[in-house]
Amino acid sequence: MLNLGIIGCGSVMQGPYMELVNKLLFKKIINLKSVSDINLKIDKIINKKFKYQYFYKNYKKILEDTEIDLVLVLTSMKEHAKISKEALKKGKHVLVEKPMATNMKDLKELIQIAKKSKKYLFAAPFVILSPVFQAIHQEIINKSIGKISLARARYGWAGPNWSEWYYQTGGGPLFDLGVYNITSLTGLLGPVKKVTAKSSISNYFRKIKGKKIKVNTDDNFQILLEFKNNCLAVVTTGFTMQQYNSPAIEIYGSEGTIQMLGDDWEPIGYEIWKNKRSSWELYKTPYANWPWASGFTHLVDCIINNTKPLIDIDHAYHVNEIMIKIYESSQKNREMLINSTFKPLKFYKKIKIKKSHLDHDRNHDDI
Ligand SMILES: NC(=O)c1ccc[n+]([C@@H]2O[C@H](COP(=O)([O-])OP(=O)(O)OC[C@H]3O[C@@H](n4cnc5c(N)ncnc54)[C@H](O)[C@@H]3O)[C@@H](O)[C@H]2O)c1
């Protein structure tokens, strides 16, 4: 059984991650040994809901515990790189929420440590694990829509109202939301060579838990990505979008079009237009219950079976560099070059598209 430690016990820990942790606890695959949060009040809230042995204010106690195999870093963003570096150095497997780092110095140091370490570093988001993403990836590899020239992606909402750090430097919708779109687009189209971006503060004040706060980071982004294969893509992201009914991802090829429906972190299916047929085909999601935090179960699986992960650290580094350069592009009002690259993603299992008319109960989905 693997011993798990969780650092940062806020919204994402108490919801999506604990749902998956509880499933693995039930199957006796893991033991949630320790949790840590700088806010001591959280212990009182979560010890009524979850089973764990120790709560620490100082996360270093988790890292010093030699029985802990695996650590989830679910804190606010600015803490991610520092805690992940220390955890790898202490010989832990690490899953870190996005972004891994908010500046290039921390990002480079973290990757150097990860590459020297024999342990896994998994960086969120895990959109490439979604069956819909992999089905679209398959269509692109099979050249179903020909040579791809253009793409669009979007993800936004009105913005969090539970933690102030989302609106301070090192927070913001690019690291929080745009990261999903950039991971999806690069996962489908390969590495980016240049970025140009405009960003702004749209709302100077927000309300967090009823208290008015000043916003100190951009909450509104339009981004242009130029890929190594010369494809051009745009990403729209912000805490400035109330609702939408548009595809998450649009891919335009010489022979057709693919549209991912829903959001890329929670796709509900995809549509494909092929000139050959001169019609649209709609595929509902093969696995509606795919959980976006599934990088966690994938990591546990890789540790237990000692297998090569689908989550690629070079891809995650590339996405993180793009995001840091997007801020620079907007501030300096110019195009920025991207230095990193990664190898094309490979999926070994072919995605079977389930027949939607036979899909009566999604709880039977086995992913
Ligand atoms: N909330 C979501 O829906 C959601 C979804 C996907 C990903 N994420 C990501 O998850 C991360 C956390 O987001 P959240 O919404 O849960 O934030 P949150 O503010 O609700 O929780 C973060 C917690 O980390 C704690 N913390 C901060 N520094 C710490 C430290 N040094 N040691 C221990 N604890 C520390 C805070 O006290 C807080 O309780 C972010 O990277 C976010 O982008 C959040």
CATH number of the CATH domain containing 45: 3.40.50.720
Same domain for 100 and 223 = no
Segment 278-287 shows an average pLDDT of 87
Residue entry with tokens 């809230």: 45
> Does residue 103 line the site of ligand 1, with CB under 6 A?
no
Q: Could you give the number of structural domains in the chain?
A: 2
- Establish if 14 belongs to a structural domain: yes
* pTM of this prediction exceeds 0.95: yes
DSSP state of 132: H
Cβ burial, residue 226 (10 Å; 0-12/13-18/19+): middle
Peptide bond into 267 cis (omega under 30): no
* Host domain of residue 69: 2-123
Say if residue 101 is in the same domain as residue 86: yes
Q: With a 6 A CB cut-off, is 348 part of the ligand 1 pocket?
A: no
Tokens of 217: 């980071």
Whether 364 is covered by a domain: the verdict is no
CATH of the domain at 228: 3.30.360.10
Residue nearest to atom 1 of ligand 1 (CA): 12
- Rounded Cα gap, residues 9 and 224, in angstroms: 35
The verdict on 101 and 168 lying in the same domain is no
Quick: pLDDT tens for 43-64. 999 999 999 999 999 999 999 9
CA 284 – ligand 1 centroid, Å:
32
Cβ of 74 closer than 6 Å to ligand 1, yes or no, is yes
53 Cβ below 6 A of ligand 1:
no
The answer to whether residues 185 and 330 belong to one domain is yes
**What was the pLDDT predicted at 351?**
81
Task: Count Cα neighbours of 89 within 13 Å in the Cβ-side half-sphere.
Answer: 12
CA 255 / ligand 1 centre spacing (Å): 43
Of 123, 144, 159, the one marking the end of a domain is: 123
Asked if the structure places residue 292 within a domain, the reply is no
Residue at 77 is within a domain: yes
- Distance (Å, rounded) from C-alpha 223 to C-alpha 233? 8
DSSP letter string over 290-307?
Answer: --TTTHHHHHHHHHHHT-
Residue that has been written with the tokens 């195009």 in this structure: 335
318 — alpha (psi -120 to 50), left (phi > 0) or beta?
alpha
> Cα–Cα distances in Å, from 186 out to 137, 191, 248, 251, 350?
11, 6, 14, 12, 20
**pLDDT-derived band of residue 367, with 50, 70 and 90 as boundaries?**
very low
Ligand 1 pocket, residue 75 CB under 6 Å: yes
Are 62 and 176 part of one and the same domain? no
User: How far is CA 178 from its chain centroid?
Assistant: 9
In the reported structure, the alpha carbon of residue 165 is separated from the centroid of ligand 1 by a whole-number distance in angstroms of 9
161 is a domain residue: yes
| pLDDT band (50, 70, 90) for residue 284 | confident
Per-residue pLDDT at 198 exceeds 60: yes
**Residue 357: predicted pLDDT:** 77
In three-state secondary structure terms, 174 is helix
pLDDT 10s digits, 74-130: 999 999 999 999 999 999 999 999 999 999 999 999 999 999 999 999 999 999 999
Count H helices, E strands: the chain? 11, 17
Closest CA to 274 of 138, 131, 146: 146
Strands (E), the chain: 2-7, 30-36, 54-56, 70-73, 93-96, 121-123, 148-156, 192-200, 205-208, 211-214, 220-227, 232-238, 249-253, 256-263, 266-274, 279-284, 336-337
Are 215 and 96 part of one and the same domain? Answer: no
- One domain for residues 106 and 152: no
Within a domain: 305:
no
- Residue 134 sits in the same domain as residue 109: no
Confidence of residue 334 (pLDDT cuts 50, 70, 90): very high
**Residue 352 included in any domain:** no
Distance 50 CA to ligand 1 centre (A): 17
Cα torsion 14, 16, 21, 26: sign: positive
| Spatial separation of the C-alpha atoms in residues 110 and 239, rounded to whole Å | 28
What is the arithmetic mean of pLDDT over 139-152?
97
Query: Residue 350: its pLDDT value, please?
Result: 84
What pLDDT score was predicted for residue 361? 66
Specify the ligand 1 atom closest to the Cα of 83. Answer: 31
Best probe residue, ligand 1, of 12, 18, 122, 296 (max atoms within 8 Å of C-beta): 12
> Which tokens sit at 193?
């060579």
Domain endpoint, select from 123, 140, 163:
123
221 and 319 part of one domain: yes
**pLDDT confidence of residue 364:** 56
Q: Name the residue of 9, 39, 75 whose CB sits within 8 Å of the most ligand 1 atoms, as the mutation to test its pocket.
A: 75
76 lines ligand 1 (CB under 6 A): yes
The CA-based dihedral angle spanning residues 96, 100, 105, 106, taken in that order and rounded to the nearest 10 degrees? -20
Domain check: are 16 and 57 in the same one?
A: yes
In a shared domain, residues 101 and 155: no
Inside any domain, residue 346: no
Last residue of a domain, one of 105, 123, 141: 123
The answer to whether residues 180 and 162 belong to one domain is yes
